Amino acid sequence: MMGTQIRTGEILMKLLRHALVWVALTVPAAATFATTINFDDLKTDSNGSVIDNGYSGFSWDNYYVIKGEQTSFDPGYGGTVISSPNSAFNGHGGPATFSNAAKFSLASLYLTKVWQDGGTLFEGYRGNQLVFSKTVYSYSGLPVLVSFNGWTDLTSVVMSDDNFSGQSAIDNLSVQVVPEPATYAMLLGGLVLLAAVARRRT
């Protein structure tokens, strides 16, 4: 019986060592999770639908998704589509916000104006503090790739139309999300528990 317990403890310790090596190798690489939000998995039609909170882990305010390729009343919606068939836009031409409780970085997105050529204002916030601001001029139906170098540690990004130039549409929103500390705390807690069990069995 004692020999069985010792062998079990040795196996657990070996598994624990492998787990610790895995954590050491993967946690630094997974410090941020990069993702491209293309809106194509949302159900909608050519009239558009509200993007619900929780989609892709973000909260969304005044963002709509539309099946741009099937929209005939204005080419701007379809012109933004990079990955078929959907794109997103700010409802009624008002400010639209996406946010996350965990800090994130904004890398890039594709942008076009819907109704007429003009500017689109992007503002990056950390809490209530405005830390980044950028105005991008684009043309109706002609998508442009917008890069946001250095836009890190954000909690929200607001998109609004400059000089009442109409709605803006986006696609392939590229972000990196920093996991909350609780995620790593749970992982380490599980490893500590394994270590305690292994010590008792040896």
Ranges of H-type helices in the chain:
2-29, 75-79, 181-201
Residue that wins the pLDDT comparison between 173 and 22? 173
**pLDDT tens per residue across span 88-125:** 999 988 999 999 999 999 999 999 998 889 999 999 99
pTM, 2 dp: 0.74
Q: Which amino acid appears at position 178 of this protein? A: V
| Helix axes of 181-201 and 2-29: crossing angle, nearest 10 degrees | 160
Predicted confidence (pLDDT) at residue 49 exceeds the cutoff of 60: yes
Phi/psi of residue 158, nearest 5 degrees: -110, 130
The span from the first CA to the last CA of the chain, in angstroms, equals 12
Over residues 169-182, the mean pLDDT reads 84
The residue extents of the domains of the chain are 2-31+182-201, 33-178
Over residues 152-156, the mean pLDDT reads 97
Cβ distance 117 to 139 under 8 Å? yes
CATH code given to domain 33-178? 2.60.120.1350
Count the Cβ atoms, other than its own, within 10 Å of residue 73.
8
Predicted confidence (pLDDT) at residue 58 exceeds the cutoff of 80: yes
